Chain A
Amino acid sequence: MTKQLDLPDIQGNVVRAYGRFNFPFARYVFFNIRDGRRGRAFVGAVTEQVTTAQRWGLGPDEIPKPPSTVNVAFTYPGMKALELPRASLVGFPMEFIMGMKKRKDILGDDLQSAPERWDPVWRDSREHDRHKDVHMWISINGQSKADVEQRYEWLQQLVAHSAGGVAILSGHRGDDGAEHLPFQDLHVVFENGKPTPKEHFGYTDGIGDPVFEGLPGNPERVTGRGKQMKDGSWAPLATGEFLLGHRDEADEYPIAPSPQLLSRNGTFMVYRKLHENVGTFNAFLDRASRNYPGGKELLAAKFVGRWRDNGAPLVSAPDAASKAAWDEKFAQADRRERDRMLSGFTYDNDMQGAKCPFSAHLRRINPRAALEFTPDAFNTPGALTNRRRLIRRGLPYGEVKDPTRDDGNHGIVIMMLNASILRQFEFVQQQWINYGNDFKAANDKEIILGNHNDQYPSKAVIQSDPDGDGAPYFLANIPRMVETRGGDYFFIPSMTALRMIAKGIVDPT
């Protein structure tokens, strides 16, 4: 029998990107737990409303689609504040215990991205005053703004009811220089009043999350999203790459705290608030494309590996002519075919990077089989990739009011879900975003997300066809287009674990 996940036990944000299901608004609220017992009671009350991964519908094993969703996660100090047994706490992985701030050297969070420059809520967390530590994340995603507000009011009532057991932490930056908002508001980018899947640089975002065993959904989605096999077919990744308590790609259980009921069906989440320097990006794109033979939009596509307007992958649409043909086909395709056109590709015919450059976002974040530079070098083409995959969740925040400036309130909150933050997120960030050796790109960083600096100016190569006449194109003095504004490492427990934490009955003995 094929593997089936316990959907009612898994939190909904693990399997669903709510933004894709008509939830264009979100509010993330962060808490400090002041009292263990009352804190647990608060968690218990919230848990009753947590959105699970169950299918939405009116059938017997389904739940009606809610107007707004609720999900919960904890930092390590949060688990401590809830008085989890020490014997459980010591089982958490070292990087989760340390938290994101302390991992800044690995993550490249330096200069403008350094923790001293983060939003106050993150800057002050895990420093001197434990009342400012971020312990808990509660996310609300809503079909409308009013739905979000309604949930938030409910949350505030629970906080009041906790009688000082928990406190909402303020210190999020917002519009017009606000520094102390009590929550992080997010919403999709609207164009002419219509929601779009775009972020503030104009790229289509959120395509191609990994597909793993047991994940509900149409089986064809595995193409381009699972793992590439030797015969060219695709298979779902092992569940244990994304959920604790399940077998991973090494046929092992991921490192997780005991008891098993605490960790199984849970996962780790990396929360990163990333400010987008829209003015810098636009100026750089203008400067760099001035002499680029393919023109501005192609160069913008080369930064990421997809065309900005509709996300067409460069591997399938490497130039204006093929893009026009792709667009025509895309316009006529049904939903499944569209999905396949967006995600179902490989780099097999682009091993020189002439279509999608080695430093493009897409290629760096999920190289598929492209790190097997010598055919059949590994026993499976994705040998270097399959254990570095990430589920990405997130939404943009703020609005671009002046596209020539950097200092507005605009960016994206990205949440990456994985079974091992160390092996998956941190490795990708350190080796593939801020370094290029695995891609034979020396120390070139990923173009958009790389922590470029002025001291050692970054370059990147836009490869050209080695058999053609065109010269490779060099990007010089790449500025830092994205800055970290805060975040931390969280544990997303299963529903079972949430109930046990709330009741104070987690027992590792």
Chain B
Amino acid sequence: MANTSGNAYALTCLSPIRKGCIEDGSGVGTGTAYSDDVRHRLQTWGLLEHSPMAKVPQTYLCRYFVLDDVYYQSLSGPDFFSTMYDILSFFSDRFREMALPREDHLKSKYLVFSCNLHGDVDAYLRGMWHAIEEDIRRIWGYCYGFEQVRDADSFAAYVRKCQLKASLFFVGSNDDPLPEQLKALYLKQEFSRFAVEHQGLPATELQQAYRAFMQRVQPLNLAGPSWQPGQSTP
């Protein structure tokens, strides 16, 4: 499955979380499982513009969750073979049981990080480390293998090792760099406001107002007025 779409990249990463419970300093268990603590830490993150991920450059959309186990997918429909097995059950239950789907389980719980981003994935992950190193350490700290992560490069290498080949794309986004998309949204909104506020003006006045508008919104200046990552209200 391709996990690139133009300049957009779909990253899915599953990091196994340590089994067992957190110990206090002296080797005594606290009764809280590592995975439960990771979930708790994620649940105390801020949302939207208050999320640490709003500080990570080029993030279109991302999601974290703790995967406890896989779900049982129910019985398969009656195809030819299961019907055959059903008939054979006349002879033995063993045949019938063979027709049942096997139940799968995960070997450990996983921290799942699913993210749509712009550009090169390694550069993105290094940028992520530089932006929110503390938060990364708090979230990934209980994952197997994370002790090898020391810096931006080793973090990128670690995530890539945990990467799952899946292409989960968020359709609300194209593949332009995030600041360009945010600016485009801002311009679209400001322009429709301009159109509403200035309808019916004589051409010269309209032109004048339009010039002032262009000066204010600075269409080509990405660092100028725009929406901020994660921002949810004007």
Identify the A interface with B (CB < 8 A).
291, 456, 459, 471, 473-474, 476
B195→A474 contact, CB < 8 A: yes
- Across chains A and B, which 3 residue pairs bring their CB atoms closest together, nearest first? A474-B196, A476-B196, A291-B200
**Minimum distance in angstroms from B173 CB to a CB of chain A:** 16
Q: Are B199 and A474 in contact (CB under 8 A)?
A: yes
Complex-state Cα separation, A471 to B196, whole angstroms: 12
Query: In the complex, are the beta carbons of B196 and A459 less than 8 A apart?
Result: yes
Tell me the nearest residue of chain A to B199, going by C-beta.
Answer: A474
Q: Is the CB of B199 within 8 A of A473?
A: yes
0/1 interface trace, chain B 185-226, chain A, CB 8 Å (1 if under): 000000010011101100000000000000000000000000
Instruction: Quote the shortest CB–CB distance from A142 to chain B (angstroms).
Output: 47
Shortest distance from the beta carbon of A97 to any chain B beta carbon, whole Å: 27
Residues of B within 8 A of A (CB): 192, 195-197, 199-200, 234
Task: List, in ascending order, chain A residues with CB within 8 A of B196's CB.
Answer: 459, 474, 476
Question: Can you list 12 pairs linking A and B with CB atoms under 8 Å apart?
Answer: A291-B199, A291-B200, A456-B234, A459-B192, A459-B196, A471-B199, A473-B199, A474-B195, A474-B196, A474-B199, A476-B196, A476-B197
- Inter-chain CA distance A474–B197, complex, in Å, is 9
**CA gap between A476 and B234 in the complex, in Å:** 17
Q: How far is the CB of A397 from chain B (nearest CB, A)?
A: 35
Q: Is the interface of A mostly helix, strand, loop or mixed?
A: strand
Closest to B200 in A: A291
Smallest CB gap from A290: residue in B: B200
- How far is A474 from B191 in the complex, measured between Cα atoms in Å? 13
Residues of A within 8 A of B234 (CB): 456
Contacts of B197 in A (CB 8 A): 476
Q: Shortest CB–CB separation between residue A111 and chain B, in angstroms?
A: 16
Tell me the complex Cα distance, A203–B183, Å: 42
Minimum CB distance partner of B193 in chain A: A459
Q: Tell me, in angstroms, the Cα distance from A291 to B199 when the chains sit together.
A: 9
Give the most central of B197, B200, B234: most A CB within 10 Å.
B200
Nearest residue in B to A442 (C-beta to C-beta)? B192
A159 to chain B, nearest CB (A): 50
A399, B200: Cα distance in complex, Å = 37
- Minimal beta-carbon separation of A454 from chain B (angstroms): 13
Instruction: Write out the residue numbers on chain A whose beta carbons fall within 8 Å of the beta carbon of B192.
Output: 459
User: How distant is A291 from chain B, measured CB to nearest CB, in Å?
Assistant: 5
Bound Cα distance A473, B200 (Å): 9
Taken together as a complex, chains A and B put the C-alpha atoms of A474 and B200 apart, in Å, by 10
| A residues less than 8 Å from B199 (CB atoms) | 291, 471, 473-474
CA distance A473 to B197 in the complex (A): 11
Q: State the CA gap A476–B192 with chains docked (Å).
A: 11
Q: How far is the CB of B234 from chain A (nearest CB, A)?
A: 7
Q: How far is the CA of A471 from the CA of B201 in the complex (A)?
A: 12
Query: Of all chain A residues, which has the CB nearest B195?
Result: A474
Chain B residues with CB under 8 A of A456: 234
Residues of chain B contacted by A459 (CB below 8 angstroms):
192, 196
A474 to B199, CA, bound (A): 7
Cα distance A32–B32 in the bound complex, in angstroms: 49
CA A473 to CA B195, docked complex, whole Å: 10
